[in-house]
Structure 1
């Protein structure tokens, strides 16, 4: 296929579109939320994110022959229909996993710092141990925390050793972090996995974080539960009826953000780059652009920590989830329609945020090892790294 004749329709919020896809065809940007069949009348390639439902209603009678989603999850794509039509497909598994993990770690460290509890004394339960959950498990275990894992599909395939059932996890974990895809049918559906019955199993003073898919928690049941159990702390990045957020539920969250856990620039560009490589393979063309060529340098590159510093010092420098919390809360007094538009606008205009690995830290012994476990770059050869100017 002559790439000069290709038309590539892409979600306008995907970064690095021009450097990655500009030489592969004519690039057309569209709003992912508002994308319709008319936008694809001459399209050969469609590149989306999670806000676009890709199915027969969108693609029937269009010339689209390849679909890529710059996301880990694929629940917004009708994969069986694409397969029946012979339409090529690729996702970006793991692209923003580190970004989501670091949202969780940052939120927990901020809460521990504000409330004065010892994070290392907590048991963390991870529900859904795929790309994100597995990486969160690895970092927590290297840091020395006790971790419980619930992933029935993996347990069925790999054996029960190392996994617990949902009830056991909810009854024993001090912190519950959800990372499941949205599965509506089959032997292990995740729709409303946390509901009135299962929420009641949570320990006193539990912390619940959802950075996976909003409908994995029954938001109506969660609102009622939280009103009865004010001891439970909620950190929600995803919501059941996005882009609309229940202001009553958000008001009861300690951290409420607009589905941006995976929005570190590194992860978003990595997703675009993975689709670039997949599309090149689909077209029978060599992929010549490396990820490092499209990732900008971090403004803060190195930091020497004083002996009295703690884990939160570099974490706060890289990412403060309360910034995004304040931005979302400022929209919740709007009408539902206006609030939904504001939700998308917050995602569209999201300020630059980088991953922990873009900051090289130097600290004394044990602290440096903990920071390395968190994901920061370290340099054991020099304890004299100097802080550069700028913000991460």
Structure 2
């Protein structure tokens, strides 16, 4: 069985090697001729899986995408051909939530004030938006959710309209899928008109899809609104972001908000489980055995920590400034953008760091934030 996989997916040899011949390819440049004799195709969001890609293949048994989003996959076409499909919902939700939380801490440190004093609007309350909400709740930050689809589905959480939140929030963090149709499309959800409605000194974070914001409109608005603070992990026209936009952004990264080792391992492992189900076999590999040990054996806290110290603790796990620095110098064209993603191996989640506490202090919130091993 030939298993064609995106070269940037980790742990494929360890997980899929026992099931067949693993062949790694560039997901960005994958073509129909390369896919023609594959039995299994495993991709990420950079590969458009559609009739044009699969038309020469008559033996495909399974398609998997190690992503939450599915806008790059023509699922109707797969269904017509009876090709099973699986994705990895929630695989990198914790990573994205922690990325947005860390970025907010960085902005608070850079521009003064405390994150705990901000009001956060989370637009999109699915896996990643919920992960951010969990971080904010653990730290005691006031937040509200906007998700009309979940509100209509019977989700019991409190939801607010987007325009209502724009009049309330200090910070807007975007966590929606990219959709062009339906009652609530997200393509250019933040067009020039809505960007103009951002409150004074607002922070706007986008960790979902670049086209949720009209990037050219953002350039125009930012040119007349120096008070706006921007965190962009995703860009219209990836892998070639608009060069004139990058200098206007406070934290700029190449679509790696979900790129923790834990998140990527989960994504690959979820596809491994799905393929095993299709093949009718029992998975033999274990997820936890894939991850390397963290470079810090642990950290002992001797007192309560303030927000500046919390940021330092977060930076010991992942310092977003490093990726921002490299991106501005090496990631502004397609090759550099993709190289940063391909070689991104340093990012971990809070759970990688074990904490201990020697004093009599309430540290439950650090456990709720995701750190492990907290005790006295």
Q: Give the TM-score category using the shorter length.
A: over 0.9
The equivalent residue for 1:60 is: 55
Q: 1:23-80 deviations in whole A, cap 9, x for unaligned?
A: 1011110000010111112101000001000001101130222100001111110111
- Please report how far the alpha carbon of residue 300 of structure 1 lies from its aligned counterpart in structure 2 after TM superposition: 1.5
User: Which SS does the other structure have where 1:370 is aligned?
Assistant: helix
The equivalent residue for 1:346 is: 340
CA distance in 2, matches of 1:45, 1:161: 39
The equivalent residue for 1:314 is: 313
Q: Residue 51 in 1 paired to residue 50 in 2?
A: no
Residue pair 1:205, 1:232 contacting (<8 A) in 2 also = yes
The equivalent residue for 2:353 is: 359
Q: 1:343-381 deviations in whole A, cap 9, x for unaligned?
A: 00111111321110110112456562332232111422x
| Matching residue within 155, 159, 162 for 1:166 | 162
Residue pair 2:88, 2:267 contacting (<8 A) in 1 also = yes
Q: Would you identify which runs of 4 or more consecutive aligned residues in structure 1 move more than 6 Å? A: none
User: Which SS does the other structure have where 1:172 is aligned?
Assistant: coil
- Please report how far the alpha carbon of residue 102 of structure 1 lies from its aligned counterpart in structure 2 after TM superposition: 1.0
Question: Larger deviation: 229-238 or 138-147?
Answer: 138-147
Matches within 5 A, 1:273-284: 273-284=269-280
| Matching residue within 22, 36, 40 for 2:17 | 22
Matches within 5 A, 1:225-240: 225-240=221-236
Residue pair 2:101, 2:135 contacting (<8 A) in 1 also = no
Give the number of aligned pairs: 371
CA distance in 1, matches of 2:221, 2:110: 24
Q: Kindly tell me: are residues 180 and 231 of structure 1, through their superposed partners in 2, closer, same or farther at Cα, counting changes over 3 Å?
A: same
User: Which SS does the other structure have where 2:120 is aligned?
Assistant: strand
CA distance in 2, matches of 1:313, 1:326: 18
Matches within 5 A, 1:1-392: 6-62=1-57, 63-158=59-154, 162-307=158-303, 309=305, 310-331=309-330, 339-363=333-357, 364=359, 368-380=363-375, 382=376
Residue pair 2:33, 2:56 contacting (<8 A) in 1 also = no
The equivalent residue for 1:3 is: none
TM-score by length of 1: 0.91
CA distance in 2, matches of 1:67, 1:366: 50
User: Which SS does the other structure have where 2:363 is aligned?
Assistant: helix
- Please report how far the alpha carbon of residue 138 of structure 1 lies from its aligned counterpart in structure 2 after TM superposition: 2.1
Q: 1:230-288 deviations in whole A, cap 9, x for unaligned?
A: 10100000001000011211100000000000111110011000000000001111112
Residue pair 2:134, 2:369 contacting (<8 A) in 1 also = no
Q: Structure 2: 5+ residue runs without aligned partners? A: none
Q: 1:99-154 deviations in whole A, cap 9, x for unaligned?
A: 11111111111222232211111100000100111121122123211111110101
Q: Could you say what the CA RMSD is over the residues aligned between the two structures, in angstroms?
A: 1.5
Question: Larger deviation: 248-257 or 351-360?
Answer: 351-360
CA distance in 1, matches of 2:191, 2:360: 44
